[in-house]
Structure 1
Amino acid sequence: MLVIVDHFFKAIIPIACKTTLSSEGWAKILRDEVYAKYGMPVTVISDRGPQFVSKFLQDLYKMLDIKGNASTAFHPQTDGQTECANQEVEKYLRIFINFQQTDWPEWLPLAAFQHNNRVHSATGKSPFFINFGRNPRVAPDSHSHAPLRTPASEAFKATMKHIHDETKTALEKVAVQMKNQYDKKRKATVEYQIGDKVWLDTTNLHLARPKKKLDDKRISPFLILEKCGLSAYKLKLPATWKIYPVFNETLLTPYVAPTFANQKQDPPPPPNIINDEEQYEIDTILDHKLHKVCGPKDPKTGKYTTNTVTDYLVAWKGYGTEENKWTKESELENAKEAIAEYWESRKDTITVQAIVVDNIKADGSGSPTFILNSRMKDGNVQFQVQQGTDFVITSWYFEHEIPHLSELIKDYYWVSREEFGEEYRPVDRYAPEEEGG
């Protein structure tokens, strides 16, 4: 469902549509439901869904002289009136739709009518009255109690009156609840200036740390570059962050300088100059990942070769966790000691993801079979299987291709080298393939 709200006279237009709505689909809705009925809009405020921020839509808005204003990162309340309207319509539908919840599109026109005929708290008038200069005719002017021709007509009349009364009560109730809930969470507004430093809330950020629960609640501070709209600010983020740099004020906290000298953080150290290039000092290597890249073409076969490369997650000395960066091994030529220390620290860590010892005979002969990993492919689960330990042969199989392992797949779990011994581990530094198979 898509709900359009006119920010001037507060009318709503609820539309039944799929979550896969495209930019072209939204353009048609804008033409048929807004332009054809109310004229050309001046501004369109939306969330940051791909259908609303696509290049196609940006060009269309530019051609029609419409200002597109997407909500700021992690703050859908930028489009707050639509959020409230969504909740009101959902409240209405919850009351009247059938048990199977299949007839909700049929109730949308009546939901819109009830909302648009109700006095809005901001204007003191109904959206219908502001738009047309009068209130709609809701019920017959005549109060005649002449008998109707059919019982069905009488029942329909009674049903509509009941729906109208219940809807009015329900919408008034939800409006009060929403206001009370908003007032509880609302905090005093802080007016920031360009150049101010602020902490950024990490609730919606995915930092490279194992446990979100133990992660920092706020990070940096960051410098404010400009104010965007009434309550959003653009921050100077690290170049490695590939996110929208505008955040609502609710995610920002004023930076307060430490009271005592020993609480102050030292400024980031300057980079070293090696071969006329800046090189930042590594504090520690936190993690690694392997992936395949296309190599040169084999002159004999004419096919491109595949190389496996390693990336390391690097923490830089003197910088916060927000500056941690995945870096190619080829870019860490002067960090061989740090890389060696990283692998030394991982000696006794988990390297085998699962083991199935179905090929071990009573006399101890035979070789084990490893299930190294699993993944989704073409809508089904695949398992990566390794046979033996002297040399590595791994292949991806769907479960129906390895029926003899069906019971043993249930034992798919993590084990360590210490538990099973060195002879049961796969090739050192093993990481599952990301593509192919």
Structure 2
Amino acid sequence: MATFVRQYIDGCALCQQNKINTHPTAPGLQPIAATTTLPFKAVTMDFITDLPESQGMTSCWIVVDHNTTKGMVILPCTKEIDALGTAQLYHTGPYRRFGLPDSMISDRGPQFASRVMQELVKLLGVKSKLSTDGQTERINQEVEVFLRIFCAAHPDDWVNFLPDIEFSHNQRIPQGRNESPFFLMMGYNPRAIPAVTQTAEHPSVEERLKELQLAREEAKAAHELARQRMSERITSSFKPFTLRQKVWLEGTNIRSPTNKKLTPKREGPFAITEVLGPLTYRLKLPPQWRIHDVFYASLLTPYKETEAHGPTFANLPPEEVDGDSEYEVESIKGHRLRRGKYQYLVKWKGYSSSEDTWESIQHLLPNAAKIVTTYQQKNKIQDQTIPARRRR
């Protein structure tokens, strides 16, 4: 009996969709093979956003050498930066030191996935890969952790210390390496600001030196703390998804038409239509969803269907009424005004919440008149009722 109950609960789609995942399995780090030993010929880039405002800047743009050195360039920017602004940052930072890269790896952020950026890199002869790389992802996340730690101590003037943060990263010998990024890029390790200096004759000079020394020590400490935190993510029990497998999509980044706290934790289930990589998948989304259909594995959860529970979503075919396709309304979940007329968010019987659609009242009457009237009375909505049949 206990086994049957567990299987029944495991197969309940509503439980899978709404329960909090207290033991998420993060996908392991998947390295992308290096193709050259020259510095910054293959780069990855990412943005660290929502930092405390400093000199009008709220974000950082980091570029990491994907291949041998793992060196980093970091520049301040705003969260609203676009593709052309990103290109200008590259010209200001890495380009003047290393020239153009041969290839570029980035996530699917709007700055990188836009047509402008893709056309630009094509004209420049740079290969663009919209993906996530395990090795560099770890470096990026490590940099983000220590940058946020550092910004907590310098919320107003962290922009002034970005050179120290970059220097601290490039002079440190990474775990599993024998040389620092500086040595691999230039053949030597540049001198850092010494921890102890002689007393200066001018107080302002001595004060500035102490300030730089303190910033260097804080950056070093933040780096070590970030490294310790990220070391926990080296291993993973993640099992890759397969073609046509059904998965749940985390609702974290999905805009909800109703109260976010009351919406399901996950949407779906959706079938995987294409395996783009070990951690990247294309899903078959509802046609009314106007979002990109490629997602990282950390946003996906396997959909389970057990014999004890049976299928949750019947996906009932429409009934033919007077030659029209009629779907049964289960409930109305919300409403909105569009051009002075009400639209209702409809939950269809036998379908998951991802199939919910916005419908005018003409499409809901007369078959769903009782449900519509009850919802209008409960929410004190004054709306015209025009008898018509639902066409879908």
Tell me the equivalent position of 2:161: 107
Distance in 1 of aligned mates of 2:82 and 2:368: 46
Structure 2 unaligned runs (5+)? 1-59, 385-392
SS in 2 for 1:10: coil
Distance in 2 of aligned mates of 1:150 and 1:35: 40
- Per-residue CA shift, 1:61-96, capped at 9, x if unaligned? 221233444468xx999955323223323434555x
Change (3 A) 1:187 1:216: farther
Structure 1 residue corresponding to 2:201, chosen from 143, 150, 155: 150
Structure 2 residue corresponding to 1:22, chosen from 77, 82, 88: 82
Structure 2 residue corresponding to 1:230, chosen from 262, 278, 284: 278
Tell me the equivalent position of 1:342: 371
C-alpha RMSD over aligned residues: 3.6
Tell me the equivalent position of 2:125: 65
Structure 2 residue corresponding to 1:283, chosen from 309, 325, 330: 330
Change (3 A) 1:288 1:171: closer
Change (3 A) 1:155 1:51: closer
Q: Which has the higher contact order (CA 8 A, sep 6+)?
A: 2
Distance in 2 of aligned mates of 1:77 and 1:325: 41
Contact 1:5/1:85 (CA < 8 Å) preserved in 2?
Answer: no
Larger radius of gyration: 1
Change (3 A) 1:351 1:170: same
Change (3 A) 1:254 1:157: closer
SS in 2 for 1:336: coil
Tell me the equivalent position of 2:93: 33
Tell me the equivalent position of 2:180: 126
Tell me the equivalent position of 1:87: 145
SS in 1 for 2:149: helix
SS in 2 for 1:27: helix
The residue type paired with residue 301 of structure 2 is T
1:184-223 superposed matches below 5 A:
187-208=236-257, 210=259, 212-213=261-262, 215-223=263-271
Distance in 1 of aligned mates of 2:377 and 2:310: 36
- Per-residue CA shift, 1:171-197, capped at 9, x if unaligned? 2233213434x46xx751112211222
Greater alpha carbon shift after TM alignment, 56-65 vs 164-173:
164-173
SS in 1 for 2:140: helix
Change (3 A) 1:264 1:190: same
- Per-residue CA shift, 1:206-243, capped at 9, x if unaligned? 45554634x44444332111222331211112222222
Tell me the equivalent position of 1:56: 116
The residue type paired with residue 383 of structure 2 is R
The residue type paired with residue 340 of structure 1 is A
The residue type paired with residue 35 of structure 1 is Y
Distance in 2 of aligned mates of 1:156 and 1:284: 66
Asked if 1:172 is matched to 2:224, the reply is yes
Distance in 2 of aligned mates of 1:318 and 1:134: 67
SS in 1 for 2:287: coil
Change (3 A) 1:22 1:235: closer
TM-score if structure 2 supplies the norm length? 0.69
Tell me the equivalent position of 1:5: 64
Change (3 A) 1:271 1:83: same
TM-score if structure 1 supplies the norm length? 0.62
The residue type paired with residue 328 of structure 1 is S
The residue type paired with residue 325 of structure 1 is T
Distance in 2 of aligned mates of 1:240 and 1:189: 31
Change (3 A) 1:244 1:77: farther
Greater alpha carbon shift after TM alignment, 275-284 vs 111-120:
275-284
Percent identity (aligned): 30
SS in 2 for 1:16: strand
Asked if 1:270 is matched to 2:317, the reply is yes
Change (3 A) 1:77 1:338: farther
Aligned pairs, number: 322
Change (3 A) 1:132 1:254: same
Change (3 A) 1:319 1:62: same
In the TM superposition, residue 124 of structure 1 has moved relative to its aligned partner by 3.5
In the TM superposition, residue 283 of structure 1 has moved relative to its aligned partner by 3.4
Contact 1:3/1:86 (CA < 8 Å) preserved in 2?
Answer: no
Change (3 A) 1:105 1:199: closer
